[in-house]
A and B are shown apart, each in its own frame.
Chain A
Amino acid sequence: MSENNNTEMIPENVMEGIAKMNTDPNNAVNPAETLDLNPDNQGIGRMAQMRIYLGKMFRMFLFQKDWFVLPMAAIIAGLVAFAVGANLFETMEGTLMGSFALACVCVWNGFFNSIQSICRERAIVKREHRSGMHITSYIAAHMIYQAVLCLLQVIIIMVVCYLLNVRMPAKSLVTPFPMVDYGITLFLITYCADMLALFISSFSKTTTAAMTIMPFLLIIELLFSGSFFTLPSAAEPFTKLTATKWGLTALCAQGDYNSLPMVSIWNSCVQMKDIEIEGKKPVYEVLKYIEKNDMRDEFCLLTAQYNQKPEFEFSRKNMLKCWLWLVGWTAVYVLAAIIFLEFIDKDKR
């Protein structure tokens, strides 16, 4: 409510407050009664500060519409499951496409969770830092809060996929439970993207600046995912920078990509069946022979053998490598966020 020169506009409770402030005899503080609240070496520790900020964040989850990311995750997961979920973990192509789409959903969710979380209250953070707030406590609170958010989103994605009959990986590599392995991978992708967005938010002066950088990063994440787009060999090293690359690799590895049939060559052959050479249709003849002898699956598996990708090797070592890369990048982003935010006092007034 704005206040202007017209005193009639002042709300009643404000006037009551001022009146109380200035007339209440209890307000005349007797110096003898003043508590010595500031002896030396006071100030609460980092853990205590972290707990305070964590409390604030969960309250803001309710009041600041941060909860909105949860239904949004369900909607996006539903769309992706509907569009590309049919052949996930059933064929090579379906697995690659579906895993890529799932990795993108996770990156999208992670980005949206925290891209504005620091920059929208940057001035407040600066004030609190001046009053003794530790940046490490503040970032640690964000890390815990965002981890909970990411976990909830992953659970939502998995439930939505299950309800829409999207096939889940049947085998596990690290834990005894395939769903747990799958969930950990999805969580690590989301959390890695989340911490990258938190880092962007830590140095962006405004929400507009952060939201401008976000699509740019999203393009990099999608383009440099490694396996989905064919990149020149010179660009290959850059794929190591993205969460999508390691997420996609982990998902395909757990889905045992290299043991799945390949259908794209069969489909291409079917499209070319009417090609005539010297009055004959050789492709049609071959396809007819394969179908007649019930060899289609054998054909698809044979073509798949020639298109296996060593990076999608179904092994515990491969899976752990992908997870470690994701954890490593998450740690780098967190560290960078802390370092950048430590310079918040240098912000122009």
Chain B
Amino acid sequence: MNIPVVYFFIALLFKLFQSIGYCFIFKKCNVAWYLSFIPFVREYNVSLCADREKDGKVYTIVAGIATLIELFNHFIPENLSVLKTILLIIYVGLLITTEIYMIRVLLGLIEVFGRKKNWIWMFVFLDAVTVLIWGLSPKFVPSKVVIRVKKSVLAKEFGQNITAPEEGLLINIKKRTVVDFFRKKTLIKDIHMFIPKGHMVLLLGGSGAGKTTFVNAVTGYEKAKAKIELDSRDIYHEYKKILYKIGFVPQQDLIRGTDTVQLTLSDSADLRIPKGVSSDVKKARVKKVLDEFGLTAVKNSLVEKLSGGQRKRLSIAMEYISDPTLFVLDEPDSGLDGVVARGLFERLRKIADEGKIVIVISHTPDRVIELFDDVIVLAKDETKTGRLAWYGPVNEAYEFFGKNSMEEILLSVNQKDEGGEGKADEFVGKYTDLMKEKVG
């Protein structure tokens, strides 16, 4: 038997030991044991056990590409030496990347199993033996396991579209999914509501509850499997036509600092106001909005010289310049103190009173809660999908959740590992029953 064949069999034997070891580790981590025998899938599942899914994804993709290059290289004729060399250089680069990402995954595994970081050397130099020890020894127990939810315990679903009784915003979201690493992931689902004109609505939800996804779906920026109507007009079908009826103010003040306030607003007016509108009307609108948002005194200042509150008002004014019907603001009060934030929310209340729909995401709404008409509560269910736990008047929300503040409501729907009460599924179910009762 020649030496390469012996090496091949030894390597195969080690791989087998490694797979057997991971088979037991997977059992401990609540992952299907047989996946340890499938290359790449095994490493990805190790990353799930290690709570390092992102690193696992990168590893799997890079390792997959490296393997393809290695295979492809075998079929390249010898006379194409340049191509072979280039591919070899790329292959070496990818190999280094996979090793780095595998080390990151293994460090995560060590952390989950509560062991010292020095174990990494054992994994690097004696991989198969170490994995076997970790898999077979009862002393090695993970601090957390992969959660797999059974379909029978999923929260209830309303599952039917509602209709609009008057002009306003009608939201019927069936679901919003993304394909993430060959798997379909549902970000939000089963959200149905109608927001009348003139209402200012608070959008409440913990981290990962789908607030931004919801807002993006409603504004048509990221389309969901849904029917969204603004004044009986389908936002998805007529997106380009009614784009300027929707204003979205992001959380960060994304404005060029090296331009003046007036020119920034005037450029926004030029970009957002229809081309048929005369320049005099545009100028008047800019002046009016500068006045309304208290920016006239600083209109000739550079944006980078403004205070946080002024910059936030300018950011809002840039969207408000086109007089949108639906106005969505992502945490407009972040970084602002109570007085400035209150002033801002009172301004938003006035905008709503003009017959607009204002939706505001905020993490500190209790200081201005009386300014809101309704509240939307989104919660992350067992499958980590954003669900509607409540939509309705603020006072009724307190009653529904049995709490006295929005902060308490948020805590009640937040998951336990986030410091909450973990009652998301309970309230989603309760609200679904309520909806069914109302709609009939």
Contacts and interface: CB of A to CB of B under 8 A. Distances in A.
Interface string B313-332: 10000010011110000000
Contact of B81 (A22, A44, A131, A234): A234
Contacts of B267: 52, 55-56
Contact of A64 (B258, B270, B277, B293): B258
A26 B245 contact: no
A277 interface: no
A347 interface: no
Nearest to A127: B254
B252 interface: yes
Interface stretch (A35-43, A207-215, A306-314): A35-43
Contacts of B285: 35, 37
Nearest to A5: B337
Interface string A155-176: 0000000000000000000000
Contact of A123 (B252, B263, B293, B310): B252
Interface in A89-124: 121, 123-124
A22 B343 contact: yes
A204 interface: no
Contacts of B241: 40-41
A17 B297 contact: yes
Contacts of A64: 258
B271 interface: yes
A266 B344 CA distance: 81
Interface residues of A, number: 60
Q: Which of A14, A27, A40, A132 has the most CB of B within 10 A?
A: A14
B298 A13 contact: yes
B115 interface: no
Given A29-B354, A45-B275, A63 B302 contact: yes
B256 A43 contact: no
B396 interface: no
B259 A60 contact: yes
A316 interface: no
A117 to B, nearest CB: 12
Given A44-B271, A235-B82, A38 B322 contact: yes
Nearest to B303: A63
Interface in A1-35: 1-7, 10-11, 13-22, 24, 26-29, 31, 34-35
B295 A17 contact: yes
A42 B275 contact: yes
B322 A124 contact: no
B257 to A, nearest CB: 8
A43 B275 contact: yes
Contact of A18 (B255, B270, B277, B343): B343
Contacts of B39: none
Nearest to A120: B256
A3 B254 contact: no
A349 B254 contact: no
Given A17-B294, A60-B256, A38 B274 contact: yes
A132 B243 contact: yes
A123 B335 CA distance: 19
B240 A43 contact: yes
B311 to A, nearest CB: 10
A48 interface: yes
Contacts of B310: 13-14, 17
A291 interface: no
A234 B86 CA distance: 11
B49 to A, nearest CB: 25
B82 A63 contact: no
B4 interface: no
Nearest to A235: B82
A285 interface: no
B144 interface: no
A128 interface: yes
A32 B299 CA distance: 27
Contacts of B308: 1-3
Nearest to B221: A130
A59 B281 CA distance: 24
B214 to A, nearest CB: 13
Contacts of B302: 63
A49 interface: yes
B258 A42 contact: no
Contacts of B159: none
A16 B294 contact: yes
A55 to B, nearest CB: 7
A5 to B, nearest CB: 5
Contacts of B392: none
B244 A21 contact: no
Contacts of B245: 38
Contacts of A60: 256, 258-259
Q: Which of A7, A16, A45, A124 has the most CB of B within 10 A?
A: A124
Interface in A66-87: none
Given A27-B291, A52-B267, A11 B307 contact: yes
A321 B21 CA distance: 63
A150 interface: no
Given A21-B343, A29-B350, A34-B354, A13 B297 contact: yes
Contacts of A345: 221-222
Given A14-B310, A43-B240, 14 more contacts: A2-B335, A3-B337, A18-B309, A38-B325, A39-B274, A42-B273, A43-B275, A44-B275, A48-B275, A52-B270, A60-B259, A127-B250, A131-B272, A345-B222
- The 9 A-B residue pairs with the shortest CB-CB distance, nearest first, are A17-B294, A42-B274, A18-B343, A63-B258, A234-B82, A64-B258, A1-B307, A38-B244, A127-B254
26 contacts: A3-B309, A3-B336, A5-B337, A10-B309, A14-B294, A16-B297, A17-B293, A17-B294, A29-B350, A35-B277, A36-B323, A37-B273, A38-B242, A39-B274, A42-B274, A43-B243, A49-B271, A52-B270, A52-B271, A60-B256, A123-B252, A124-B255, A126-B254, A130-B221, A131-B248, A345-B221
